A and B are shown apart, each in its own frame.
Chain A
Amino acid sequence: MYLALKEIRHEKLRYGLIISMIVLIAYLIFILTGLAFGLAGENSQAVDSWHAKSIVLNKDSNVSLTQSVITTDQAKDAKLSSKEAVIGSTPVVAKHKGKEKVSASFIGAKKSQFIINDLKISAGRKARGNHEVVVDQKFKDDGYKLGDKVTLNSFNDQYQIVGFTKNAKLNVAPVIYGTIPSWKHLRAMEGVPVVGSAIVSKNAKYHAKDGHLKTYSISYFISKLPGYSAENTTFGFMIGFLMIISLIIIAVFLYILTMQALPIYAVLRAQGIPARTLVSTITSQSLILMVAGLVIGAVLTAATASVIPIGVPMSFNLPVLTWISIGLLIMGFIGSAIPAQKIATVDPVKVIGG
Chain B
Amino acid sequence: MSVIELNNINKYFGSGVSKVHVLHDINFSADRGELILVVGPSGSGKSTFLTIAGGLQTPTSGEVSVEGKSMAKLSTAQRDKLRLNQIGFVLQSYSLVPYLKVKEQFDFVNKVKRQGNLNQAELKELLVQLGIENLTNKFPGELSGGQTQRVAIARALFANPDIVLADEPTAALDSARVAEVGKLFKELAKTRDKAVVVVTHDVRLMEFADKTYQIMDGKMTQATNKQPAK
Residues of A within 8 A of B (CB): 2-3, 6-7, 9-11, 263-264, 266-275, 277, 348-349, 351-354
Q: Is A267 a contact of B47 with CB atoms below 8 Å? A: no
Smallest Cβ-Cβ distance to B104: which chain A residue: A6
**Contacting residues, chain A, for B93 (C-beta < 8 A):** 263
B167 and A352 within 8 A (CB): yes
- Which 8 pairs from chain A and chain B are nearest by CB? A353-B47, A272-B84, A272-B83, A10-B99, A7-B99, A263-B94, A349-B51, A353-B167
A270: chain B residues at CB < 8 Å are 54, 56, 83, 89, 91
Interface residues of B in 26-55 (CB under 8 A from A): 46-48, 50-51, 54
Residue from A3, A273, A353 in contact with B84 in the complex, judged by beta carbons closer than 8 Å: A273
B97 touches A3 (CB 8 A): yes
Which of chain B's residues have a CB closer than 8 A to the CB of A353?
46-48, 50-51, 91-92, 167-168, 199
Query: A-B contact count, CB below 8 Å?
Result: 82
Q: Taking the complex as formed, is B98 at the interface, i.e. its CB lies under 8 A from any CB of chain A?
A: yes
Q: Do B112 and A274 touch across chains, with their CB atoms under 8 A apart?
A: yes
Q: Scan B80-121; emit 1 where CB is below 8 A from any A CB, else 0.
A: 111111011101111101111000100110011100000000
Q: Are A274 and B50 touching (Cβ within 8 A)? A: no
Provide the main secondary structure of the chain A interface.
helix
Given the known interface contacts A3-B97, A353-B47, the answer about A271 and B84 at a Cβ–Cβ threshold of 8 Å is: yes
Q: Does the CB pair A349–B80 fall under 8 Å?
A: no
Contact with A along B50-90 (1 / 0, CB 8 A): 11001011000000000000000000010011111101110
Most buried by B among A3, A11, A275, A352: A352
State which of A2, A264, A273 has its C-beta within 8 Å of the C-beta of B98.
A264
A349, B45: Cα distance in complex, Å: 13
21 contacts between A and B (CB under 8 A): A2-B107, A3-B100, A6-B99, A10-B99, A11-B99, A263-B94, A267-B94, A270-B89, A270-B91, A271-B89, A272-B81, A272-B113, A273-B80, A274-B80, A274-B112, A349-B47, A349-B56, A352-B50, A352-B51, A352-B56, A353-B92
